[in-house]
Amino acid sequence: MTLQEFFAGQPRGTRARIAKECGISKTWMSLILSGRRPAGAQLAIMIEKATKGAVNKADIRPDIWGKK
């Protein structure tokens, strides 16, 4: 599942909660979602944990971990 797909099915405020849990701003999360900025390797791991595995780190950064 992509990060965009994950957020599409979530209630309001989820982006802000995930961003805070990952230690980034809502703006940075928006830049990642829009594809304007890539998530770093560590951030991809944190996003995977924050989404309880719904979004895999390989889906966020296939160039690092390869697409499953």
Q: What is the pLDDT of residue 68?
A: 59
What's the mean per-residue pLDDT of the chain? Answer: 93
Per-residue pLDDT averaged across 12-35, rounded? 95
Q: How far is CA 63 from the centre of its chain?
A: 15
Give me the CATH number covering residue 26: 1.10.260
Structural domains of the chain, count: 1
| Domain with 49 in it | 3-65
CB neighbourhood size of 62 (10 A)? 12
Question: What is each CA distance from 27 to 19, 45, 60, in whole angstroms?
Answer: 9, 19, 17
Which pLDDT score is estimated for 33?
92
How much is the pTM?
0.89
